[in-house]
Structure 1
């Protein structure tokens, strides 16, 4: 599931990712903000995959709405859809389709970052006003996590059916500097409803060192090469608390690999394509 406001800059890389893969093993869904101009239509495996979309805006609940819209469409479109991966246009795959597919379909849990006691958590919780989130979302239940997740079907249904927490998260913030609803809603909802059913980590690598303005570091074309891909593969996700009491020792035992990475500048496509077959898709 791609959530984008631009043409997909790495569509040719994803084409290779899906190349020669049986069509019944995957579906693609694109939420393309209609207020942006798309120079060329989505082609290849992306042709006719754009769902009815609405404008999205940072510092607002519209990014949550877009993700819920993608999940709803994917749930209704194909009952065999088992795992639902949300990606951005700046995401690239770090492994072959076969490697990625096996990791996901063999998992009995969703992968969603659920972090407790993060710096600034109270101000994020109170971004709509003091105590506005209560009683539906108490501060002690508030969680923070990556916008990008992989949900199993059970949790996708929980998200699209939710109205109780959504009634709070869809409210507009009064403090923009702490308003990142898409980093709070999914982590809080699933952390409250079924933490034991989640691996509390994202499978999309991101580097916040050197980030600015709420945006992570962006990789440039000069950095792209085999060493970068190998280094990203070596890194391990950061895990939150598994289970309601935080005593699950499986957190330290897990060795889940990153399957995707962001944020890459659009001009990285050429060097990425150069190493696609011999590095990225060679497991």
Structure 2
């Protein structure tokens, strides 16, 4: 079963087009087994995607990029969330299995109708296909120059606050990625990556570190973060995520995968106390760096998380009925 980490980031307006060109020309694809693949991007494709500068003033958009197995089981939650936007200041793209269509038979939300990318691939959890899915979504999103912030989400994510609060929060952040830890002490770096990816450019994602699994990693947990570090764009990367994930290091019965999967919240878990406990988190402790970071926004103390995962459909429905999501 495919599992999915969420990533969110934004691109500042002054660096928007430069960032896009550098991203598309970058050569980096970590397969986490010591081998690499050239990103096959053609100049003609880039010219097609970015033919003209953005001459007309347009409100910057947040792009919500979903990676799903088939349909989105929590589309009703996001439908309620998106209804809070009156200015058309967001875009939606979904990567699902090849051939899957978001039509009136597969989603009841107008915001997801025909929002699937048409060049999707079959994605397997823990494989490099996760990286390819991210690139496909970005390729679609980068066509519109008004898209300035990009949020990767799984099909089990929920928004904790309303759209207005979320938009203002994300637009006020001053760096690009908000799910990247600039830590070079991660044991999952494989020396075989030299010299293509030096250890000084190796970046890890939000999974907990398990030093017993040296050199093991989930490719999409590291790809974008390391890519931007390689391209000299680390100033666009923050050191924390806006998506809350509860990692249970002991729940998995599979010893080799223990700690790789976050806790799944079921109907009985979906309580006001749970949501309040997540919203009240105002600091994050980084074990590998032995440091604690207090969360802030616009220079003031703020909640650390705007989104949370992993929620089952019954759990999300219960929380929505209790008006605990998107509020």
Q: Secondary structure at the match of 2:95?
A: strand
TM-superposed CA distance for 1:81, in Å, is: 0.9
**C-alpha distance in structure 2 between counterparts of 1:268 and 1:218, whole Å:** 10
**C-alpha distance in structure 1 between counterparts of 2:198 and 2:125, whole Å:** 24
Q: Secondary structure at the match of 1:200?
A: coil
Q: Secondary structure at the match of 1:232?
A: helix
2:240 pairs, out of 181, 195, 201, with 201
8 Å Cα contact 2:266/2:315 also seen in 1: yes
> What is the alpha-carbon root mean square deviation over aligned residues?
3.0
Which residue is 1:42 aligned to?
107
TM-superposed CA distance for 1:30, in Å, is: 0.3
Which residue is 1:69 aligned to?
136
CA gap of 1:266–1:176, structure 2 versus 1, over 3 A, is farther
**C-alpha distance in structure 2 between counterparts of 1:16 and 1:253, whole Å:** 27
* Structure 1 residue ranges without an equivalent (≥5): 148-174, 241-245
Q: Could you report, residue by residue, the CA deviation over 1:204-231 in whole angstroms, capped at 9, with x for unpaired residues?
A: 1000135533111111110112211111
TM-superposed CA distance for 1:236, in Å, is: 3.8
TM-superposed CA distance for 1:264, in Å, is: 1.0
The 5 A counterparts of 1:128-207 are: 131-146=191-206, 178-192=216-230, 193-207=232-246
**C-alpha distance in structure 1 between counterparts of 2:84 and 2:315, whole Å:** 24
Which residue is 1:113 aligned to?
180
**C-alpha distance in structure 1 between counterparts of 2:295 and 2:269, whole Å:** 32
Which residue is 2:325 aligned to?
280
Structure 1 or 2: more strand by fraction:
2
**C-alpha distance in structure 2 between counterparts of 1:9 and 1:234, whole Å:** 27
CA gap of 1:114–1:221, structure 2 versus 1, over 3 A, is same
8 Å Cα contact 2:66/2:155 also seen in 1: yes
**C-alpha distance in structure 1 between counterparts of 2:315 and 2:102, whole Å:** 19
Structure 1 or 2: more helix by fraction:
1
Which residue is 1:271 aligned to?
318
Which residue is 2:60 aligned to?
none
Aligned length, in residue pairs: 239
**C-alpha distance in structure 2 between counterparts of 1:115 and 1:143, whole Å:** 6
